[in-house]
Every structure is written in C-alpha cells, then in structure tokens.
Amino acid sequence: MVDHVSRVHIGPKPRLSVLMYHQVGRFKAMKAHRANYCDAGRFARQMRLLAMGRFHVIGLQQALSGLFGAGPLPPRAVLLTFDDAYAGFVDEALPVLQEYDFPATVYAISGWVGKRMQWADSGMERPQPELMTAAQLRAVQAAGITVGSHSQTHRRLAVLDPAEQAQELRDSRSELEDLLGQPVEHLCYPFGSFDQHSVRLAAQAGYRSAMTCLRGAATRLDHPLLLPRKAISFGDNLIGFAWKLLVKHRPKPVLAAWRRWAADARFEQDNELLDALDGQGRAPATNSAQDAHGVQL
C-alpha cells in the first residue's frame, strides 16, 4: 500500500464518488430525516443514469486499489454503499443493481441482524423497518454484494470510551464473520460518529477501510479508514443527483481537518497511531454537525 505521506505529494486525483444510501423503498413525503430514505422509483432512475451516463460503478476492492494501491481507478468512478442493511434492500435495491451488474457494499449491525431498526426518532411517525436476517445477508453476499460492519449495536463511537469502542468494532467483525463464513474487512462508523481512538481501534480490529459521513469526493488525500461520501437524499431529483456526481467534489471543512490530521499523524492502517498524538489538538475531537443519523447538512 502506498503510504499516506506519498499520496499527499502526488495530489488528490484520481477521484471517487462514494454514494451513501440507507433505505430504498416507497415512502410518504417527508420533511425530516430525508437522507435516510430514497424512493424506489428514483433509485431505479439514478442507477439508469449511472449506466447511461458513462459512469463506472466499481466494487470496494477496486476502489481501494485505485485510490491507495497500484490498480487503476476509471474516470467517473462511483462506489455504492448502503448503511444499516435494511431488509428492503433485497426487494427494492438488489434487483436494480443486478439489472445493471452494479457491485455495492452493505453495512450490517451485527447485534441487530433480523431485528427492527431501534434508533428511530419518535417524531418520525413511521413504522420501524426490518433489518436483514442472517439468511438474507448470506444471500446478498452470494449475489456479489460486499457485507461490511456497521458496529455491534449502532452506538455513537465518539461518546464511548476506548474500551467500549473496541468492543463494538471487534465483536461486530467477529459476529459477522461467524454469520457469513467470510472475512469482514470493511467498516462504516455508526451515525458517522468517530474520534481519533475510533480510527486507531478500527485498524487494530483489522478493518481495511472505514466509511464516514464526511462530505466530499474520495481522493488520495484521504486515509482508507476516513473515507468521505456523498449522501443521496429523498429529495434528490436527477438534476440534483447528477450535480452531486459531477460537481459536488469539494471537501467540507471538517473533512479537510481530518485529512490534515491523518497526514500529520503519518498513520498507516497496519500500524498503531502514536500515543503521543492523543490530546495534542491536531485533530477534531469528534465528527459533529450531523443530523439524527450522522448526516451532515
């Protein structure tokens, strides 16, 4: 793997749009929590636009190789991610992905497999959706979908002490590997909440990548355990969707701050962060400015 300092010197390109989805289905109009939903009809049209618009939808392994290794990253590269592993993914999203032969990554909460969503705001006034069962997770994996970890119980890591964070990350990976019979090497921070400890502990737990809710296109300026994404919202029409793909690349200030921290730390995911970095104020204490599900507005 190319070290992070070298990536900084060679500049930010190539560039990758990592799209963040949650639920895909049929929903009533809403004013709040819009980034947690995507209408099934709009999702189908979005995937058609990707297929017809000379975008290259790639899998997570190719994305990591193109950003941080020796592999190529095609122009207009797009990576599709789905947080929480909702059961509706099987009926609403997977058939569309298969129609276009698009790879994707789903992040599952190991302690909630087969249960209902437990973090809904009471004001949402919507039924709590079901999460994928073990059989469904194995089925989507067999269909070519990468399954990653979304922690054990979907707690905000940045408010937990390091020991609690370590348990959330370590146990989730172990439980999902037992369930799937395959290595689980990729993480998505629940609620987009993390701190410096989270990054170090994710590396120690054996994760090769981690998704955040930081906004911007992913480039070689990023660290594999601090990857930014672009949230796809319930209100996004095709013009807004295309704008996020083609124009909305500039990093938000908090993403730029984490990039500086990763570069200053000279942190490689196969090495520990230096303990001396803790408490020196070089990095944000937490990733904040988020809505109820960690989505930055």
Q: Which residues contact 216 (CB under 8 A, 6 or more apart)?
A: 228, 230, 249, 250, 251, 252, 255
Q: What is the DSSP pairing of strand 37-39 with strand 146-149?
A: unpaired
Q: Tokens 């089925």 belong to which residue?
A: 139
CATH architecture of 4-277: Alpha-Beta Barrel (3.20)
pLDDT digits (tens, 9 = 90+) for 106-165: 999 999 998 987 765 444 566 788 999 999 999 999 999 999 999 999 999 999 999 999
Q: Which residues contact 91 (CB under 8 A, 6 or more apart)?
A: none
Q: Three-class SS of residue 231?
A: strand
Q: What's the confidence (pLDDT) of residue 280?
A: 27
Q: Which helix (H) or strand (E) holds 83?
A: strand 77-83
User: What is the band of 33 on the pLDDT scale with cuts at 50, 70, 90?
Assistant: low
Contact 21, 83 (CB under 8 A): yes
Between 38 and 123, the more confident residue is 38
- DSSP designation for 104: -
Q: Round to whole Å and give the CA distance between 291 and 24.
A: 19
Q: Where are the domains of the chain?
A: 4-277
**Confidence (pTM):** 0.84
Q: Tokens 């799209």 belong to which residue?
A: 19
Q: Three-class SS of residue 52?
A: helix
Average pLDDT, the chain: 83
**Cα maximum dimension of the chain:** 51
Q: Round to whole Å and give the CA distance between 99 and 106.
A: 18
pLDDT digits (tens, 9 = 90+) for 68-114: 987 889 999 999 999 999 999 999 999 999 999 999 999 999 999 98
φ, ψ for residue 83 (rounded to 5)? -85, 145
Give the range among 12-16, 109-113, 138-142, 230-234 with minimum mean pLDDT: 12-16
